[in-house]
Chain A
Amino acid sequence: MSDTSTISHKAPRHTAGSAATPASAVPRKVLIKRIAITAVVPLFFLSACILCFVSALHSPAPHHLALTIAGPEQVTSQLATDLDKHVSNGFDVAQTTNPAQAHDDVADRTSIGGLAVEGNQVTVYKASAAGQADASVVENVGDRVAARLGTAATVRDVAPLPADDPLGIALFYFLAACTIASFLPITIILQALCLGRVCTRS
């Protein structure tokens, strides 16, 4: 392989004494390969990121959100039916007559949220630490149920977020940083020690 046809991250840069390699001095095959790689890598990441992130995050809505509804059987059945009618497959409702169960299911993460209906009193159990969007949906459902009964819901946060992380994003960024910082060293070591593909080919 001639020197000019080498694809390498160690190719001469714009440093003093080394002229830039003009496109005309590079074999056509190598030039096409360079152009293809330059185009394909960004296109792949652009497409993959947009597809993954936009499809996941664009419009959060409940899908099989586990909800425990406690109260008289007649009331809980009616609420479960109404919820299913309102948002098809939005909620997986567990019904119980024990009001404490609504709290316990949220606390042990069996359910995302809980509603306890006692007379015309509605208590909403949410866990902000499990996700603000989930908690918001649960609270919204509780408010609607309470409004139907002509009262206001009492909201109890079973797992509140700390005051200095009210959106609960710190753990997410911690995970992201740990993940990226764990595969980055491997990639760099492979490249630095010429075990990576591009490097090997130089």
Chain B
Amino acid sequence: MTDMLSDPTPDRFWSRPFGKVLAGMLLPLLFATVFPLAFVTAMHAPQPHDAQIVIVGPDAVVSQLAGRLDRTSEFTVTHTDVASETTDALTQRRADGVIQVTPGSAEPATAAGAAAGPVAPAPAYTVTTYVAGANGRTLATAVTALGRQVATAYGAPAPAVKDVVPLFAQDASGTNLLLLLTYTSLAAYLTVVVMSKIWAGARLRTRLLAAALAAVIAPLIAFGLSAIFAGDYGASFQTILALLAANSLVVFTTAVAAILIDQLFGEAILVGVMVFLVFLNFPSSGGGSPVAMLPPFWQFVHNMYFGSAGLELFRSIVYFGGNGIGRWIGQLVIWSVTLLLLTLLLELNQLVGRQRQRIAELTALPSPGSPQSAAHRRTIIVQPLVAAAGAQYSPMTHKEQTR
């Protein structure tokens, strides 16, 4: 009976063993090609693309340099003479790096001197580079390198580098939040994939319940286990609760996305999961390479996808005291709600389709009294009614079924 229900056209090519193997080969082929393409194109050679830089210093001194840097594709530069911006712009997540140019003991540069450009600078300047290590090491390295260039342009000594938002000591590589995102997401979509394989008839509410349970349990286990090695980021209890709540939202969103993929892709759920929840999700997250160091395509994905929203939310909560969470919460919630609505709409659409087909089958019933009629009525009328009433449905005999 199982075979008949799941395989109504047994003569089809894709239902035969060779066809199944051939179809099955698509996934490894997809993996072998798209996996390196996605991750390597995103991360192999991090270069700043429109990295937000603030240059702090007297307008007459820094405006020309800021304008020149702003015209490059690598940096988007603003300048200010407000000294507190050296730290505020970074801690509030408004900038990727800050460079402060301070006139030294010598006379400040005149407007005419500044107009001559940084290629012929006054000698007595000090340059200080401010970075946020929590935003990613490659970004900090790029900002540090820019600081050195600026110092050279002003004839200043090698700049001091100050990390305004350093990484937690036990998260020295800055990968822990990415691992948290990656493996709790894995738990989310694996729950749905396993259900689709062993419990294909599970109702939508059962799947959503499983997604909700995964959203509660996976973050607790992931954070608990990672804390054994990586500690708790030195964070307060409230911060950890906020991190777990954000992670729960990410897990639920990912699981709902997997349910939607299951509805759309059916047996090819793994292909959809790989493409939408792995290959697009993780390289663009900003965890492996900070968003300012990603190529433009991946920056675009980062700015609209839910995995990136999750990772930036984690960063804001753990390292930036909650600064900048509004945008990322919004991005994540929009995805959660949209995916949930699409899932419900699709389920409703499929339900209507099934009911229409039943009505069509009812109207095409064989003449009353015939053996076919009895079997048919039992299939399309009795089974759903009995099942709906919560009773154990007694399946048809093989004899009835094969008539």
Interface of A toward B, CB cutoff 8 Å: 2-4, 6-14, 16-25, 34, 37-39, 41-43, 45-47, 49-51, 53-55, 57-61, 133, 163-167, 169-170, 173-174, 176-178, 180-182, 184-185, 188-189, 191-193, 198, 202
Contacts and interface: CB of A to CB of B under 8 A. Distances in A.
Nearest to B203: A20
A19 B387 contact: yes
B171 A10 contact: no
A55 B20 contact: no
Q: For B29, B35, B186, B200, which residue has the most chain A Cβ atoms within 10 angstroms?
A: B200
A103 B358 CA distance: 79
Nearest to B176: A58
Given A38-B198, A50-B226, A59-B171, A177 B2 contact: no
A58 B230 contact: yes
B21 A189 contact: yes
B201 A20 contact: yes
28 contacts: A8-B2, A8-B198, A12-B201, A13-B200, A16-B354, A18-B5, A20-B201, A25-B387, A34-B195, A38-B199, A43-B187, A45-B190, A46-B221, A50-B221, A58-B170, A58-B172, A59-B172, A60-B172, A165-B45, A170-B36, A180-B31, A184-B27, A185-B25, A185-B28, A191-B24, A193-B17, A193-B20, A198-B197
Band of interface residues on B: 35 or more
Contact of A22 (B35, B170, B203): B203
Contacts of B214: 42
Nearest to A53: B179
- Name A's interface SS: helix
B218 A42 contact: yes
Contacts of B228: 55
Given A13-B267, A46-B184, A198-B198, 6 more contacts: A17-B380, A45-B187, A53-B183, A57-B179, A166-B46, A167-B43
B164 to A, nearest CB: 21
B353 A38 contact: no
Contacts of B392: 4, 24-25
Given A34-B199, A46-B187, A173-B40, A185 B2 contact: no
Given A19-B383, A37-B198, A167-B44, A58 B171 contact: yes
B7 interface: yes
B230 A41 contact: no
Contact of A192 (B17, B44, B187, B217): B17
A79 to B, nearest CB: 24
Contact of B357 (A17, A42, A174): A17
B395 interface: yes
B169 to A, nearest CB: 7
Given A16-B357, A178-B32, A188-B24, A59 B201 contact: no
B232 to A, nearest CB: 12
B187 A42 contact: yes
Contacts of B200: 9-13
A13 B353 CA distance: 14
B194 interface: yes
A170 B221 contact: no
A169 B221 contact: no
Contacts of A49: 179, 182-183, 186
Contacts of B198: 7-9, 11, 34, 37-38, 198
Given A20-B201, A34-B199, A58-B171, A43 B221 contact: yes
A13 B266 contact: yes
Nearest to A3: B1
Contacts of B1: 3
A61 B230 CA distance: 13
Contacts of B5: 11-12, 18
B28 A184 contact: yes
B173 interface: yes
A42 B191 contact: yes
Interface string B338-358: 000000000100100110011
A17 B131 CA distance: 61
Contacts of A192: 17, 20-21, 23-24
B185 to A, nearest CB: 10
A181 B357 contact: no
B183 A173 contact: no
A164 B151 CA distance: 27
A176 B35 contact: yes
B21 A193 contact: yes
A173 B225 contact: no
A58 B173 contact: yes
B28 A181 contact: yes
Contact of B225 (A16, A50, A133, A166): A50
B17 A60 contact: no
Contact of A166 (B28, B45, B190, B195): B45
A198 B40 CA distance: 35
A126 B248 CA distance: 43
Interface string B376-400: 0000100110011011110100000
Contact of B45 (A7, A50, A164): A164
A42 B201 contact: no
A186 to B, nearest CB: 9
B202 interface: yes
